Copies of this chain bind each other. A is one copy, B any other.
Amino acid sequence: MSKSDHSFSDSERAGLYRAIYERRDVRSQFLPDPIPRPVLARLLKAAHHAPSVGFMQPWDFILIDSAEVRQQVLASFNEENAKAADNYTGERQQTYRSLKLQGITESPMNLCITCDRSRGGTHVLGRNSIVEMDLFSTCLAVQNLWLAARAEGIGVGWVSIIDQGELAKILNLPDNVYPLAYLCLGYVSEFADQPELEAKGWRSRLPLDELVHGNRWGVSLDDKALLGKLTK
């Protein structure tokens, strides 16, 4: 069988790569329009088809539209964000304070993707050596949903400035369930050309060729053909 039998058509590949390159972390551009149920279902199904260690599928999806719950989450964000701002001084702190880092109440839907650390019992296949594989699997579900959302024209923002213990209390999570990702979802006025932190000069994209090693850490890759492709 030819090795090329399983690759996608050019237009199918283009769709995937477009989602990868045009996906953004959205905080400021949410529109209030509700997400149609068939679209929301496609996003959740995309997440549910992520790979998971031992086919554990440790995720749950808490869809949050309650104003009361969202106000509680926003209060936790505000507390954590005030602490975070104190880590910076001078111009850097001013830039930090100018950044909008969440869209909890402006977006029409929030979604907490959780990880049930006890799912599948004591001995989940492939989780014997690295116990965090359940958390990592849940991240893969987040990325599936994030890419599917972009293709549907829906922006996603991951709110990571939040106290996980506080969030677990607000959402009534059992002890074995970890609130891995708190996401804001909604249609947007625009998807920016660049990540906001890049556009605002907070941090630059690293040159990819400097992040590639050959066989062991710190050994330059002896492959000019590949390195040349990475700098473009």
Contacts and interface: CB of A to CB of B under 8 A. Distances in A.
Interface of A: 1, 3-9, 11-21, 23, 25, 31, 33, 37-38, 40-42, 44-46, 48-51, 53-57, 59-66, 69, 80, 83-84, 87-88, 96, 99, 101, 114, 120, 122-123, 125-130, 132-133, 135-136, 139-140, 142-144, 146-148, 150-154, 158, 160-164, 170-174, 177, 180-181, 187-191, 195, 197-198, 202-203, 205-206, 208, 211-218, 221, 223, 225-226, 229-230
B143 A212 contact: no
Nearest to A170: B216
A148 B173 CA distance: 34
B164 A8 contact: no
A24 to B, nearest CB: 8
A161 B215 contact: no
Contacts of A188: 6
A145 to B, nearest CB: 10
Given A151-B12, A160-B133, A191-B6, A55 B212 contact: no
14 contacts: A1-B189, A3-B153, A48-B205, A48-B206, A55-B202, A57-B206, A84-B126, A84-B129, A88-B123, A101-B125, A120-B203, A140-B140, A171-B216, A172-B216
Nearest to A110: B215
Given A3-B153, A20-B148, A216-B62, A208 B163 contact: no
Nearest to A166: B129
